[in-house]
Structure 1
Amino acid sequence: MQQRDFRNLRHQLAGYQLTPLVRQTALRILAGLDAAASERAFALVGHAGAGKSAFALFLAHYLQRSPSRRLQLLTSLGFAEVALPLDAPQLLAVPVTYGQSSLHPAVLLALREALQCLKPRLRGPEATALLAALARDAAAVRIDPQCVAARVAETARLVQQSGQFGGLLLIIDDLSQLLDYPADHDDEHTLALLQSLAALAALSGATPCLVVIMLPQAFAADPVRRMDWAHAQERFVVLPFQEPPTQMLRMVAHALRPQAKQRWQRAREAWVAQVAPASDALGLRPPEISAAEWPELLAACYPLHPTVLVALPPLLRQLAQHGCSLFAFLHANEPWSLRDHLASANSTQLTLPIYRLTHLCAYVEHMLGPSLFAEAHAQPWAALAAARTMLASDDPTQFQALTVVGTINALKHAAGLRADRAQVAFALADTPDGPQADPVYAALAALVARRML
């Protein structure tokens, strides 16, 4: 999250979902604003693409607003009840951005930009001196970490004295990129600065300073990074941030659920009546979702095929480092995304084209791009791409059947998916048996005979 994003892209909060995880995480951080609290430095750890940056944007907007505007925000996101405390102190949000620099200039320049963006602008000798000091310190080759922390505290005091805010919220997104800088230069300056910022937050008292940093799950799994991070971790409250797969399915349903009756209503109902019982019988319904909720979920997610719906959580974890997120899949104008797929639908059609695993496979190939054949984790997708190339001008049903089998295998049979005859037929024909499934069974038999399966 960058400062310009926070100022200019407020509309990106439209449709944001206050899930149980979001509410729980926000409440834990807001508890740090209690007068007697000392835990005010937090590290959010989760897979890339888990929504940490979107959460940070929501938290920044929420804490920077007045109580009445916080209520407006919650209402605009579909929450009539007060899901979060409205009376927490207003904090100036300071998103830290960075390029090829270390953390200290990134923090100082973020403070300076946040002050310059205040309306009305802070004036007077104290504000002028602080702005000059922030610019001067940011240009220094090296600066004491405690001096940087002191500038954060000075900024918080200044905005509190102005009456605009009660303190400061410092957000550092994807800290792993910043730690690449000291790793390359054998420099522990970044880690020392993190410790100083956390210590400042703990002692900020009546002028609260919250520090929130984001770390990808892969960062915590790397032994070298983990050893480096251990020096600073003890000063941070570590909060796991990963939506459960079933919650992701509900998020998809929430995003796609029509607000009013559509011309596709009858087609939606007829399609769900067919695929809901079949998908349940095939074991695709997650056990956490009741048999009564499952048809409602599938209806809201139309035209996503049930096999695609349950494949999304494990797939997005695989593709997260390539910039793929749930929001991007549903709403971005990427080739083979759901939005791209629906753009081909005729406005007069009474049905929508179903988005199947074959489309999802093409989306994966596009998102991986050149790394399809370069990265170890993409090897199953690369093998599938090579096999698809061999069959591209062959029988179309065999091509589709091979694609479905390869996609399920690349997902390592996650979420109840199995590359057996019944599920492959269901993925392509919406039924595991009968005349509609017979061509799929014939294609699978032909692929086995050709030793391609």
Structure 2
Amino acid sequence: MTQQALANYFSLHRRYHRSINLERDFDKTDAIEGYVLTERSSEALQRLVTAIGNSKAHHAWTITGTYGSGKSAFALYLTALCTPEDSLLNQAAWEVAERTLPENSTLFEEIATHIPSEGLLCAVAAGAREPLGWTIIRALANAVRQVWSRKRKPEAMQAILDWDGEISVGRCQVTDQQVLTAIQQLTRATSLEVLLIIDELGKNLQYASYHRSTEDLYLLQQIAELRHEEYQVYFLGLLHQSFVGYSEALSAIEQNEWTKIQGRFENLQLIESSSQMTRLIGMAIDQSDSIALVCNQQAQSWHQALQSTLIDQEISAKVLASTYPLHPLTALVLPLLCTRYAQNDRSLFTFLTSDEPHALTRFLQTHQLEDDRFSTLKLYQLYDYFVESVAGLASQVNLQRWVEIQGLIQDARSQNDEDILKLLKTVGILNLITSTGSLKATPDLVALALCDRPDDQAALKHWRKQIDALKKRGTIIYRSQADELRIWEGSDFDVEAAIVKQIEEQARVSLAELLTATHPLKPIVAQRHYTTTGNLRYFEQRYVDSLVSLTELQTSLKGADGLIVYWLDTEAPVNVPAQTLEGRPLILVTTTQLDLLRIRSQHLQALKTIQKNASELTTDGVARREVSHRLVSADRLLNETMQQAFNWVENQNQCWVEGEPRQIVNTREFQATLSDVCD
């Protein structure tokens, strides 16, 4: 028998191995080769193209979608389409349209009619955690380099490059008005309409939220409302979520303002149907000629066996064949799982191309073809990637299902029975995506999901026997009326409602009390002083606010040599005493992120109270595990916020040492200050 790794017969198209980077790839023809204009991307393209040259149409858009949903690839294709008609990029873009659009598509004529022969000037940049004006200047600078790469630049264009140089070293004072003026100067200097695209715009919004800045939002609004001059400016921002999704740290009033500004932009969706995503999987996988015949034969058998499942899917045997070596049910379930549960670092194409454990690439390297027979990548292996490889599921929808499924499977490991684990994971994955429709976990579908061939009667018999055994044990539940296997029982305890109730009861609790309970501070040692003198000196740390009189502060820890207080008020204190009431050195540090600290500490304290006092958790294992998962996540989020709130590098924390203001630039300098006080 000859055995060879499946990687010798299956591979991924090269373009899917590397994520699109607009700044890096926008002038490369090979970056758009293989791009597919799907139904959704064609609709989005039509709305954009028909707005060009139309003064009454929207000129500012956002595209919202999860990581891996094709936003950057779409934007890259759009830039290629907007290059001059005699360029290689434009020709490559037309070839994509001719290859993937229906012959009778009206989009051909609309592209030819609305995009001028000289094209548009594309100014592109990837967003970053920096002021939005900086990112836009970087995009404009990229455009300037396109046009004036080998000739003398107008003074206004050189100014853009100068600002870009300052941004690269983190020292730029460009104003929003100068940014707006630079955009208009670029259109006039080139006599071209400008397409301004910011990828990862969410990073700029995160920066604005972190710094509680409204200027960046108003700059976006001003760009959306730029009046039509001789040459129009078009703006496209790519996001993972809506504006409000990046503003969770802000107050309700501030979030409402963000929502109003997003209303200036027309939002485009690139979310494909699950059937279309299954087709895209097939387009991404290359099969050698020697294996294609085997795949086609098996796909024909599967298409017949899954007729009732495929009735709503519009999936042909040819499409199923193209998705091998994925099991046909994996090819159908994978898009649904990505759409509903994928994290920012988990997407359909990440699963296909990454070298992570349980991903397709690793599967191809570790599984073999043996005499025209090979294992397909099944649903239980999908579970291993999406559930066991993904942390931080506590923020996901249907958390109770995740928690119970993981808990049951974890408990089953003690039995050392791989078949039981495979079966539970298969049922669990199907439970996660649906409890109705053709992909629900019927006993027959679960058995088929564990077989490489639908006509393997011995394997089917084995798995049906295993299913019956788990039903008898009560490990899985069979709902006869729905003809569905379930791995979770559910919970009658509403964790979310309990959290809300606890937070309401905490309304009068001060932030200092909340943080003392949820993030207690330990004494801190003056390390250099101890190393050089041998004397152990330490400072007590405490949270305080304006309800406390600074002149009456005392240390509460026996033997403490000084007191560090973290000021939890929006206004810095007017007078900071040099010493505590008993004459020990006093250091005061102001705090940022106060609203977010309150939200996160309230959430964590609510969960701690529920875990300690809710009697229902004693008998409700599902709710108990959910609270435990949420606690881990809430603790992590509060720790992250604490790091943001006390970040010397950002230079937002003020410090008084023994009554005198002191500028601290990093944690090491703060530590050194403690030793200086003790020396």
TM-score of the superposed pair, with normalisation by structure 2: 0.58
Structure-1 separation of matches of 2:460 and 2:163: 72
Counterpart position of 2:659? none
Shift of 1:354: 0.9
Counterparts in 2 of 1:118 and 1:325: CA distance versus 1, 3 Å: farther
Match among 144, 147, 154 for residue 178 of structure 2 = 147
Give the match's secondary structure for 2:325. Answer: coil
Q: Structure 2: where are the runs of 5+ without partners? A: 1-19, 477-679
Counterpart position of 1:163? none
Q: Structure 1: where are the runs of 5+ without partners? A: 161-165
Structure-2 separation of matches of 1:237 and 1:7: 23
Aligned length: 436
1:265 equivalent in alignment to 2:292: yes
Counterparts in 2 of 1:434 and 1:376: CA distance versus 1, 3 Å: same
Match among 282, 290, 302 for residue 324 of structure 2 = 302
1:112 equivalent in alignment to 2:141: yes
The answer to whether the 8 Å contact 1:425/1:432 transfers is no
Counterpart position of 2:409? 388
Structure-2 separation of matches of 1:401 and 1:146: 62
Kindly provide the CA deviation profile for residues 32-65 of structure 1, in whole angstroms up to 9, marking residues without a partner as x: 2225454211122334432222211221222135
* 1:74 maps to amino acid: W
The answer to whether the 8 Å contact 1:268/1:302 transfers is yes
1:410 equivalent in alignment to 2:432: yes
Give the match's secondary structure for 1:64. Answer: coil
Kindly provide the CA deviation profile for residues 234-287 of structure 1, in whole angstroms up to 9, marking residues without a partner as x: 4322223311222212222333365xx721234223312321122123xx2152
Structure-2 separation of matches of 1:10 and 1:451: 58
Structure-1 separation of matches of 2:127 and 2:58: 26
Counterparts in 2 of 1:240 and 1:433: CA distance versus 1, 3 Å: same
Structure-2 separation of matches of 1:435 and 1:134: 68
Counterpart position of 2:307? 280
Return 324-333 or 80-89, whichever deviates more: 80-89
The answer to whether the 8 Å contact 2:341/2:396 transfers is no
Match among 44, 50, 62 for residue 69 of structure 2 = 50
1:101 equivalent in alignment to 2:130: yes
Give the match's secondary structure for 2:92. Answer: helix
Structure-2 separation of matches of 1:387 and 1:444: 15
Counterparts in 2 of 1:124 and 1:420: CA distance versus 1, 3 Å: closer
Counterpart position of 1:212? 236
Shift of 1:304: 1.9
1:239 equivalent in alignment to 2:258: no
What does 1:21-420 correspond to in 2, within 5 Å? 21-34=40-53, 36-67=55-86, 69=88, 70-75=90-95, 78-79=99-100, 84=108, 85-86=111-112, 88-89=115-116, 90-118=119-147, 120-126=149-155, 127-132=157-162, 139-140=171-172, 143=175, 145-160=176-191, 166-200=192-226, 203-217=227-241, 219=243, 227-256=256-285, 258=287, 262-281=289-308, 284-287=309-312, 289=314, 294-346=316-368, 350-365=372-387, 367-368=389-390, 370-372=391-393, 374-377=394-397, 380-392=401-413, 394-413=416-435, 416-420=438-442
* 2:230 maps to amino acid: A
* 1:237 maps to amino acid: E
Structure-2 separation of matches of 1:352 and 1:67: 48
The answer to whether the 8 Å contact 2:448/2:454 transfers is yes
Counterpart position of 2:498? none
The answer to whether the 8 Å contact 1:191/1:231 transfers is no
Counterpart position of 2:481? none
Kindly provide the CA deviation profile for residues 323-366 of structure 1, in whole angstroms up to 9, marking residues without a partner as x: 22232222333332223222334477524421110111112135
Counterparts in 2 of 1:249 and 1:262: CA distance versus 1, 3 Å: same
Return 301-310 or 75-84, whichever deviates more: 75-84
Shift of 1:404: 0.5
Shift of 1:102: 1.8
Larger RCO (CA within 8 A; separation ≥ 6): 1
Pairwise CA RMSD: 3.2
1:445 equivalent in alignment to 2:468: yes
**Structure 1 or 2: more strand by fraction:** 2
Structure-2 separation of matches of 1:440 and 1:302: 22
**Structure 1 or 2: more helix by fraction:** 1
Counterparts in 2 of 1:38 and 1:385: CA distance versus 1, 3 Å: closer
* 2:271 maps to amino acid: Q
Counterparts in 2 of 1:215 and 1:322: CA distance versus 1, 3 Å: closer
Kindly provide the CA deviation profile for residues 156-175 of structure 1, in whole angstroms up to 9, marking residues without a partner as x: 22233xxxxx2321112243
Give the match's secondary structure for 1:436. Answer: helix
Structure-2 separation of matches of 1:57 and 1:319: 26
Shift of 1:424: 0.8
Q: Percent identity?
A: 24
Give the match's secondary structure for 2:358. Answer: coil
Counterparts in 2 of 1:134 and 1:304: CA distance versus 1, 3 Å: closer
* 2:408 maps to amino acid: A
Kindly provide the CA deviation profile for residues 366-411 of structure 1, in whole angstroms up to 9, marking residues without a partner as x: 541x325x54446644543443344346233222111101111222
* 1:238 maps to amino acid: N
The answer to whether the 8 Å contact 1:94/1:171 transfers is yes
The answer to whether the 8 Å contact 1:35/1:205 transfers is no
Structure-2 separation of matches of 1:174 and 1:133: 21
Counterparts in 2 of 1:278 and 1:345: CA distance versus 1, 3 Å: same
Counterpart position of 2:583? none
Counterparts in 2 of 1:400 and 1:390: CA distance versus 1, 3 Å: same
Counterparts in 2 of 1:103 and 1:240: CA distance versus 1, 3 Å: same
What does 1:2-13 correspond to in 2, within 5 Å? 2=21, 4-7=23-26, 11-13=30-32
Shift of 1:193: 0.3
Give the match's secondary structure for 2:289. Answer: coil
Structure-1 separation of matches of 2:449 and 2:260: 49
The answer to whether the 8 Å contact 1:94/1:170 transfers is yes
The answer to whether the 8 Å contact 2:62/2:238 transfers is yes
Counterparts in 2 of 1:184 and 1:265: CA distance versus 1, 3 Å: closer
Structure-1 separation of matches of 2:171 and 2:22: 20
* 1:371 maps to amino acid: G
TM-score of the superposed pair, with normalisation by structure 1: 0.84
Structure-2 separation of matches of 1:218 and 1:237: 12
Larger radius of gyration: 2
Counterparts in 2 of 1:329 and 1:421: CA distance versus 1, 3 Å: same
